[in-house]
């Protein structure tokens, strides 16, 4: 064979060897990887509904607003509920009086506790001022001792009065346990007080207000959602892998995440759980595979992936797309 014919053949053989090595290396490096772009960002969505019915007196939020836990979101007109509380309280007092209970003493002690608490707070503030002034030598040690003594005395008096109130309430509780009429009246009073508290709709968690469709003056119906609250810092990825990809996917497997909303950030996470049913199994109209016109379709299995840390300076939106790469064990 001539030299001119041998050189192209050697070149082709060399290229084939290089290609085989590259293909083998690529397969070796990626044989334990599973990828999908059928993945979407998700978070806990809380439907916020009033537990009592009534017109909206105050609306303290707007759409897309960020709120903190326990922030006041909506105030329902509480006038009827205050009347109901006063009515049930009066009925409770009538029942307790008819059973010779010491409700007058309880009311007196409650007022006394409030009075002693105010005195204790004033004494505490005065003592703090004396302490600050004493560091600059504007108050004599004698005056500082007097303020400290007065502060401790008011605290002791407050504790004593609170103890007397607890004892009186304990006597009432013992009698309540012995008489159903008091139990019923007390339950009605507590229910009225609870309904009054429910006129203030507060944020159960920190998050973002969405789908707000109520305005001041609207009549809220108990149990009917008025808006949703997306819980902050509860984000995860719902990745839908093909059924022939899930073998080897287990909770704890590491994942690389790329969000379409911020593609310049490569994020990491881990598998939290793998579903035990395909996505179509719980569809509103599940496929009838027993029908005569059945066509095999590769099913998708939801895999929940949590972030190691959330992206920086990226607007997270429920339903936005992502790409996932998972390394199997």
Inform me whether the pLDDT recorded for 30 exceeds 60: no
Q: Stretch 26-46: mean pLDDT, rounded?
A: 79
Cβ neighbours, 10 Å, residue 210: 14
Q: Stretch 274-279: mean pLDDT, rounded?
A: 84
Q: Stretch 199-213: mean pLDDT, rounded?
A: 94
In sequence order, the 6+-apart residues with CB closer than 8 A to the CB of 203 are 67, 68, 69, 70, 71, 73, 229
Find the range with the poorest average confidence among 149-153, 234-238, 280-284, 301-305.
280-284
Q: Stretch 204-212: mean pLDDT, rounded?
A: 94
Residue 91: its pLDDT value, please? 86
pLDDT mean across residues, the chain: 82
Instruction: Identify which has the larger pLDDT, 90 or 137.
Output: 90
Find the range with the poorest average confidence among 161-170, 220-229, 234-243.
161-170
Q: Where are the domains of the chain?
A: 33-43+234-327
CA distance 219 to 11: 83
Inform me whether the pLDDT recorded for 3 exceeds 90: no
Cβ neighbours, 10 Å, residue 196: 18
Tokens of 180: 């159903």
Inform me whether the pLDDT recorded for 178 exceeds 60: no
Inform me whether the pLDDT recorded for 196 exceeds 50: yes
Cβ neighbours, 10 Å, residue 239: 29
pTM over 0.75: no
> 93 by DSSP, 3-state: which?
helix
Report the candidate in 127, 183, 186, 179 with the shortest Cα–Cα distance to residue 152.
Answer: 127
33-43+234-327 belongs to CATH 3.30.9.10 = no
């Amino acid at each position: 064979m001539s030299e001119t014919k041998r050189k192209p053949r050697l070149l082709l053989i060399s290229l084939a060897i290089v290609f085989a090595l590259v293909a083998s290396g690529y397969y070796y490096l990626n044989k334990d990887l599973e990828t999908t772009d059928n993945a979407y960002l998700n978070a806990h969505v809380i439907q916020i509904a009033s537990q009592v019915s009534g017109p909206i007196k105050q609306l303290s939020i707007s759409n897309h607003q960020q709120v903190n836990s326990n922030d006041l979101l909506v105030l329902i007109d509480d006038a009827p509920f205050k009347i109901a509380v006063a009515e049930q309280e009066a009925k409770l007092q009538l029942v307790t009086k008819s059973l010779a209970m010491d409700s007058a003493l309880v009311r007196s002690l409650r007022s006394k506790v409030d009075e002693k608490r105010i005195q204790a707070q004033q004494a505490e503030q005065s003592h703090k001022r004396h302490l600050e002034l004493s560091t600059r030598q504007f108050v004599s040690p004698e005056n500082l001792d007097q303020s400290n003594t007065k502060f401790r005395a008011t605290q002791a008096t407050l504790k004593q009065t609170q103890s007397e109130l607890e004892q009186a309430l304990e006597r009432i509780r013992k009698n309540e346990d012995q008489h159903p009429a008091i139990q019923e009246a007390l339950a009605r009073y507590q229910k009225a007080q609870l309904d009054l508290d429910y006129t203030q709709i507060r944020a159960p968690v920190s998050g973002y207000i969405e789908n707000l469709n109520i305005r001041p003056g609207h009549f809220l119906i108990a149990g009917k959602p008025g808006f949703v609250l997306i819980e902050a810092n509860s984000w995860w990825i719902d990745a839908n892998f093909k059924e022939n990809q899930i073998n080897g996917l287990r909770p704890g497997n590491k994942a690389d995440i790329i969000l379409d909303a911020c593609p310049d950030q490569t994020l990491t996470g881990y598998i939290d759980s793998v579903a035990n049913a395909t996505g179509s199994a719980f569809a509103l109209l599940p496929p009838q595979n027993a029908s005569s016109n059945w066509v095999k379709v590769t099913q998708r299995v939801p895999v929940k992936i949590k972030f190691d840390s959330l992206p920086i300076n990226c607007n997270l939106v429920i339903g936005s797309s992502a790409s996932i790469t998972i390394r199997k064990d």
